[in-house]
Amino acid sequence: MIETRGLVKTFKDKKRGEIRAVDNVSFVCKPGEIYGLLGANGAGKTTTLRMLATILEPTDGTAIVCGYDVVEAPEKVRANVGFLSTSTALYPRLSSQEFVEYFGRLNGLDEATLKKRVDDIFTRLDMNSFRDRRCDKLSTGMKQKTSIARTLIHDPQVMIFDEPTAGLDVMTARTIIDFIRECRQRGKTVIFSTHVMSEVEKLCDVIGIIQSGKLLAEGSLVELRTRHNEQDLEEIFVKIVSPYLNTQEA
Amino acid sequence: MNFSAISVVYRKELKEWLRDRRTLISTVLVPLLAFPILMVGITALATVMIGKAEQEVPKIMIIGGKDSPQLLERLQKIDKLTVVPYADNWKDQISNKEIRAAVEIPRGFQTALAEGTSQTVNVYYYEGELKSSFGAGHLQEAIKDYRDSVVKERLAAKNLAPSVLTPFEIKQENVAPPEKVGGASVGGFIGYAVILLCLTGAMYPAIDLTAGEKERGTIETILSSPVSRFDLVMGKFLLVFSASLVSAILSVTSMGTSFAILGHSQLMHSSGGESLHLSLGPLSVVAVFFMALPLAVLFSAVLMTIALFAKTYKEAQSYLTPLTFVVVIPAVASVMPGVELNTKLALIPILNTSLVCKEIISGTYHWNSIILIFASTCVYAGAAIFLAVKMFQREDVLFRS
């Protein structure tokens, strides 16, 4: 379960002054549900998800993840979260297995449990053929599988995906999409950010549209279609976001 | 503090470090080979070069002297020199190393000598050029011999003994033990070298574990794990510190071995012709290593703090290169003649360690200074670790764009 309460994040910029990257964002994401955070580049998706993963600290407001406050108990939050994005890279001089084991140990798994989990995950994701290969020698698909294995090793209840398919080829992106679906089937709480409409349509139970750090609309695909009297998600997105963009440009 | 998490981070960093050729070169190979190459190699090379220069019969030229046949004959008879015919461009010939030296006998030299008037015989050479110095040396020796014989003849003519000119002798004698003489000569250099290698040994791991992690995009991966920032910094710091220590241990060991080889091979001689004492006793080695410990902590923490600011490996290198000069300047200052350890200097980081190493190597243990230096460097090191931890908690540093 994820519950954000008035999340705010500001950054200081020498030229532009104070930037409000996330502005009073509140939403709830339940177990067995995929929450899609839809927004253009620079809308505040990554900053929001980084705060949920406790990589960044909120300037104001807070979030409760698996019953733990992101400000007060960040380490406990991280122990219950699997975070995956295209910028979560691998250690090039470790093998695929060593990399996954490292994160298992950081999550406090004992050696017997770790071995069992590694064997299970590597078999499930069909990774045994490259488990001893160094990460810098892996193909993009192999790297993504290794990253997925890393997020699964501690069996987290919450999965956070920040544009996980950005820059990936169709087949690799498909692996990720299937993995996200599987997470929902296993009853995990899933939050997923993207700017690709088709991925949102395929995957998300609840969609939150974000622009300039503000959560402008929220609901299921059906609810959004009804509310905005429009079938095409892209049109709905543009309709919601445009007034705000015009205000910004003016 | 979670020791288990620190240990996990440390072991992983160690594994990656051992697989990185760049860091292995800077931490293991350079300290291991620098001293043998510098000390044994260069000394042996210098010995060979000097030997070769000594074997050469230098060509010299005589300017004037036709009216002074006695001196002219003496100069032409020197076995160690080959006299070439006079040429107007003798200065160019010396500069171009065609001849090694020239001697100018002033007009009417012999007549003036007979009349008892003092004259100056000039010897020309190429300063800094070894073979030219040898040629000029042989010339001067021959001219001095001639002068001595003239003096002897004059004294004999007046029935005076040669001791009239030297009523008593002056003798300078060293009373310091040989290890102190050796320590005073090379001790400063040893401290300087250990300090520099502690820094360079830690530099590449420090960059790799901070800016390198940012550049590879793994910083976000590690920050999403449950390890606390403090434990993460400590795990990384311990690896950088280990690298610095490995450099220090290897450099002190290789230095001890190099000196032992030099001491036995008699390659290096002091100016007095006696063999320079160059052995490092086990106590000196342990003491130098012990004094380098807090400095290695200081370097590791400072290097990590600075490198963390950088976004890329290259940027970090450009930040840390000036730091090398900051370290070299006080280390070099300790080698300067007359710079000696006192209470004020004992508080200046790097310089204090370099100076105390110099004293330790020469067998002097001023315990008050040693305790003060160790304690003050520990305080600086502690402050540097604190700063490194704080830096790892700053989002604007970790995610600088």
> pLDDT grade, residue B396 (50/70/90)?
confident
The reported pLDDT for the residue numbered A70 is 93
Instruction: Select from B5, B19, B220 the Cβ nearest to the Cβ of A85.
Output: B220
A54: pLDDT strictly greater than 50? yes
Please name the amino acid found at residue B119. Q
CA A240/CA A216 separation, integer angstroms: 7
- Asked if A83 is an interface residue toward chain B (Cβ–Cβ < 8 A), one would say yes
The reported pLDDT for the residue numbered B40 is 75
CA B35/CA B40 separation, integer angstroms: 8
- The residues that bridge with A84 in the sheet, in sequence order, are A161
Residue B108 lies in a domain: yes
Does residue B236 share a domain with residue B147?
no
Q: Do residues B81 and B135 lie in contact, with contact meaning Cβ atoms separated by under 8 Å?
A: yes
Does residue B222 share a domain with residue B116?
no
> pLDDT grade, residue B266 (50/70/90)?
low
A248: pLDDT strictly greater than 80? no
Does residue B365 share a domain with residue B252?
yes
Number of domains comprising chain B: 2
B272: pLDDT strictly greater than 50? no
- Using the beta-carbon criterion (under 8 Å), do A78 and B224 form an inter-chain contact? yes
Residue B32 lies in a domain: yes
Residue B29 lies in a domain: yes
CA B221/CA A90 separation, integer angstroms: 8
The reported pLDDT for the residue numbered A247 is 52
- Using the beta-carbon criterion (under 8 Å), do A92 and B20 form an inter-chain contact? no
Mean pLDDT (whole number) for B354-379: 83
Does residue B191 share a domain with residue B108?
no
Question: pLDDT tens digit string along B111-142?
Answer: 998 888 888 999 999 998 888 999 999 999 99
DSSP state of B98: S
* CB within 8 Å of B261: residues ≥ 6 apart: B36, B40
Question: pLDDT tens digit string along A96-112?
Answer: 999 999 999 999 999 99
CA B311/CA B296 separation, integer angstroms: 24
Question: pLDDT tens digit string along A111-165?
Answer: 999 999 999 999 988 889 999 999 999 988 888 889 989 998 999 999 999 888 8
The reported pLDDT for the residue numbered B271 is 44
- Proportion of chain B above pLDDT 70, given as a percent: 93
* CB within 8 Å of B73: residues ≥ 6 apart: none
CA–CA min distance A244, chain B (Å): 26
A249: pLDDT strictly greater than 50? no
The three-state DSSP-derived secondary structure of B274-306 is CECCCCCCHHHHHHHHHHHHHHHHHHHHHHHHH
Residue B100 lies in a domain: yes
Mean pLDDT (whole number) for B371-382: 88
| B163 vs B64: which has the higher pLDDT | B64
Question: pLDDT tens digit string along B217-235?
Answer: 899 899 999 999 999 999 9
**Chain A residues with CB-CB distance to B217 below 8 A:** 87-89
Q: Which residue of A has its CA nearest to B230?
A: A75
- Proportion of chain A above pLDDT 70, given as a percent: 98
Question: pLDDT tens digit string along B327-352?
Answer: 888 877 877 777 777 788 888 888 88
Residue B90 lies in a domain: yes
Mean pLDDT (whole number) for A196-216: 90
B273: pLDDT strictly greater than 50? no
The reported pLDDT for the residue numbered A246 is 52
Q: Which domain holds residue B148?
A: 57-164
CA A170/CA A193 separation, integer angstroms: 18
Least confident segment among A82-91, B21-30, B89-98:
B21-30
Residue B293 lies in a domain: yes
Does residue B146 share a domain with residue B196?
no
CA B19/CA B30 separation, integer angstroms: 17
B277: pLDDT strictly greater than 60? no
Does residue B386 share a domain with residue B308?
yes
Q: Do residues A135 and A99 lie in contact, with contact meaning Cβ atoms separated by under 8 Å?
A: yes
Least confident segment among A208-212, A237-241, B189-193, B199-203:
B189-193
- Nearest partner of B112 among B158, B64, B160, judged by Cα: B64
**Chain A residues with CB-CB distance to B224 below 8 A:** 53, 55, 78, 81, 83, 88
Domain boundary among B114, B143, B164: B164
> pLDDT grade, residue B143 (50/70/90)?
very high
Residue B356 lies in a domain: yes
- Using the beta-carbon criterion (under 8 Å), do A103 and B225 form an inter-chain contact? yes
Quote the ipTM score.
0.89
Q: Do residues B202 and B241 lie in contact, with contact meaning Cβ atoms separated by under 8 Å?
A: yes
Question: pLDDT tens digit string along A214-226?
Answer: 999 999 999 999 9
Does residue B344 share a domain with residue B245?
yes
The reported pLDDT for the residue numbered B246 is 87
CA B357/CA B289 separation, integer angstroms: 9
CA A26/CA A47 separation, integer angstroms: 14
| Domain residue ranges in chain A | 2-80+159-249, 88-155
Mean pLDDT (whole number) for B177-190: 70
**Chain A residues with CB-CB distance to B8 below 8 A:** 102, 105-106
CB contacts < 8 A, A to B, total 65
| Whole-Å CA distances, A41 to A55, A115, A212 | 19, 40, 10
Question: pLDDT tens digit string along B30-85?
Answer: 878 877 787 777 778 888 888 888 888 899 999 998 888 888 888 888 888 899 99
B283: pLDDT strictly greater than 80? no
Tokens representing B122 are: 């000039």
Q: Which contiguous run of DSSP H or E holds residue B113? A: helix B109-115
Q: How many CA atoms lie within 13 A of B54 on its CB side?
A: 6
Q: Which residue of B has its CA nearest to A9?
A: B395
Does residue B142 share a domain with residue B245?
no
Q: Do residues A16 and A38 lie in contact, with contact meaning Cβ atoms separated by under 8 Å?
A: no
Least confident segment among A160-169, B187-196, B267-276:
B267-276
| B242 vs B260: which has the higher pLDDT | B242
Does residue B210 share a domain with residue B63?
no
CA geometry: angle B258, B264, B269, nearest 5 deg:
90
The reported pLDDT for the residue numbered A158 is 94
Does residue B210 share a domain with residue B320?
yes
- The residues that bridge with A27 in the sheet, in sequence order, are A4
DSSP state of A127: -
- What is A2-80+159-249's CATH number? 3.40.50.300
| Whole-Å CA distances, B248 to A203, B241, B251 | 57, 10, 5
CATH number for the domain spanning B141: value is: 3.40.1710.10
CA A12/CA A202 separation, integer angstroms: 37
Domain boundary among B164, B197, B217: B164
Domain boundary among B103, B132, B164: B164
- Asked if A137 is an interface residue toward chain B (Cβ–Cβ < 8 A), one would say no
CA–CA min distance B207, chain A (Å): 15
Q: Do residues A99 and A179 lie in contact, with contact meaning Cβ atoms separated by under 8 Å?
A: no
> pLDDT grade, residue B278 (50/70/90)?
low
Residue B124 lies in a domain: yes
B269: pLDDT strictly greater than 80? no
Task: Please give the full DSSP string across A26-62, using - where no structure is assigned.
Answer: EEEE-TT-EEEEE--TTSSHHHHHHHHTTSS--SEEE
Does residue B157 share a domain with residue B236?
no
- Proportion of chain A above pLDDT 90, given as a percent: 58
Does residue B255 share a domain with residue B120?
no
